[in-house]
Structure 1
């Protein structure tokens, strides 16, 4: 199976110096690409000089994660695409178990490996961990990470299971399925665009899986650190956009209203935690959402089929009220 590993880069020479060597060394027969989002540093020159086997895709603008990958992938003809963050270290034979799964399962559209924290290698990483799900209120969460509780890797997720969404930090996706689903929604710019894409893939009757027989290590926060208010802005806004696009029927209305109330409570908590910039980021997210709502409703109409949630419980209730902090607690 022809495989392409595509690393999106924007002014990330320091990350490429640290993480690209492992990708080149351990990616076997796959073609490795660096898709550059109009960088102003010398990262492209560095790759061309130090890794001549790596192909360069030069995007005209910095369109964030969503447009950056849409632009980069449109001319690739490899069967399997691996969208890899520039701050991910891979391991020997990391591609083999996942490629094998795609060869054996024609309906498999997207997948992810085990994602551990490169700063604390004994624990899962925030962005993706051991596979993603959606709760009854439309909140994304992961096996191995619920809100800010991150589990230690003790082999509890060394399995292969169906999941609702696979992380964009290391996203394996079949080229044809990516294009059939319409690629990433560029309105999102960054954050949760992979959740939205996987939701649409599942609406097409496709399978998304976690394959725990292979591991990568993600630094995390290399583009936007957790403490950056922009991260808060994109997460709150894009979550609302995703709900409008993908929740079926009239139930989208009460769900959206409830989420707005919960966002207000979250904003108040941020203010009480002496994080005024994050408090205002939530309100900016809502105003941006209102502005984009007509466009989002139009996109909703173009989605012919929708798939319901993978989970019917509220992790907000279970986590904050019932104090169930681990995935194993949620499924009891």
Structure 2
């Protein structure tokens, strides 16, 4: 245990778990972003700790193709070619099947990120290596250091939305802890973003990977909910920060319009837990607009019903059957 980022908070370091991590990065062209991602991984990570596989979706830019060839020739990355219509879920599933045999951990990473935190991989691995944990995700910030992701909240601004979006990650160059240190703590969440998602490969296979019918949207949240239904915990770790160069001005509604079929399928599949309210989000908080602020209207009675946490002997959470029923029985969020 060590001092945390802010007054009266503490950082718990779990024992590291040995084993290489398969880092999967899908891309099509986007050379400048891809180079930033690869070079930041190499700068912040010991080479023996990971195997980098870049899923090349028909890149036709000469400079990008030359760069990929150079990475492969120098042994810095494996290049897995992908052909056909874009399908994020299938691209990642194929990469794990083709390249993950010798890696007990797998980390899914976007091609437009930059690793900021030293020791990031060991930190995420130590959490993902716990027997009760199914998946872990870090804080992601935009290029202007506003929060892009600090966990996913079910039923926020639609089926699901990132928590603390556009909140400053730093105040006078010091980490912004947020309410109850929610931005810097390690805590339970319903899901984390696939832009940086770490898990044991055995858990990924137990959950049968990403659902390939969700080709663009909500595939990461769906995976996390299915992992949770198996009895594992999903953790957000605020100690690790990754810069994500996704546009900070993208409107959530516009994003939904890009994959209406995925949105409809996800909403229908998880209608009951969405309606019940996220078990790790205070029902007195708003479900529309900015999150973690008091709602103006009263919550529904079912959303403020007592929630009891019944840990199983196997994995520390409810396991098994229908997530729609079991989610309503989970307790309030606690630090991991």
Same fold (TM over 0.5): yes
Alignment of 1:255-266 (within 5 A): none
The reply to whether residue 36 of structure 1 matches residue 56 of structure 2 is yes
Which stretches in structure 1 are left out of the alignment for 5+ residues? 256-306
The reply to whether residue 48 of structure 1 matches residue 13 of structure 2 is no
Q: Is the 8 A contact 1:136 1:312 kept in 2?
A: no
Q: Is the 8 A contact 2:157 2:288 kept in 1?
A: no
> Residues 269-307 of structure 1, C-alpha deviation per residue, up to 9 Å, x if partnerless?
xxxxxxxxxxxxxxxxxxxxxxxxxxxxxxxxxxxxxx9
- Which segment is superposed worse, 91-100 or 234-243? 234-243
Q: What is the SS of the residue equivalent to 1:95? A: helix
Q: What is the SS of the residue equivalent to 2:194? A: coil
Q: Distance in 2 between matches of 1:79 and 1:329?
A: 42
Give the Å deviation of 1:41.
Answer: 2.3
Give the Å deviation of 1:38.
Answer: 2.3
The reply to whether residue 73 of structure 1 matches residue 96 of structure 2 is yes
The reply to whether residue 108 of structure 1 matches residue 128 of structure 2 is no
TM score, norm. by length of structure 2: 0.68
Of residues 120, 130, 150, the one that matches 2:150 is 130
> Residues 46-85 of structure 1, C-alpha deviation per residue, up to 9 Å, x if partnerless?
1231562111112233433111111211131211111110
Q: Distance in 1 between matches of 2:282 and 2:23?
A: 35
Q: Is the 8 A contact 1:62 1:68 kept in 2?
A: no
In structure 2, the CA distance between the partners of 1:202 and 1:229, relative to structure 1 (3 Å rule), is closer
Equivalent residue number for residue 288 of structure 2? 319
In structure 2, the CA distance between the partners of 1:61 and 1:25, relative to structure 1 (3 Å rule), is farther
Q: What is the SS of the residue equivalent to 2:191? A: coil
Q: Is the 8 A contact 1:4 1:82 kept in 2?
A: yes
Q: Distance in 2 between matches of 1:62 and 1:9?
A: 13
Of residues 164, 167, 187, the one that matches 1:151 is 167
Equivalent residue number for residue 238 of structure 1? 262
Q: Is the 8 A contact 1:48 1:54 kept in 2?
A: no
> Residues 102-151 of structure 1, C-alpha deviation per residue, up to 9 Å, x if partnerless?
23x11211110111112x02x102xxx11112028962123312xxxx21
Which structure shows the bigger proportion of residues in helix conformation? 1
Q: What is the SS of the residue equivalent to 2:36? A: helix
In structure 2, the CA distance between the partners of 1:319 and 1:213, relative to structure 1 (3 Å rule), is same
In structure 2, the CA distance between the partners of 1:319 and 1:247, relative to structure 1 (3 Å rule), is closer
Q: Distance in 1 between matches of 2:44 and 2:53?
A: 14
Which stretches in structure 2 are left out of the alignment for 5+ residues? 1-18, 170-175, 296-331
Q: What is the SS of the residue equivalent to 1:164? A: coil
TM score, norm. by length of structure 1: 0.69
In structure 2, the CA distance between the partners of 1:198 and 1:152, relative to structure 1 (3 Å rule), is same
The reply to whether residue 196 of structure 1 matches residue 222 of structure 2 is yes
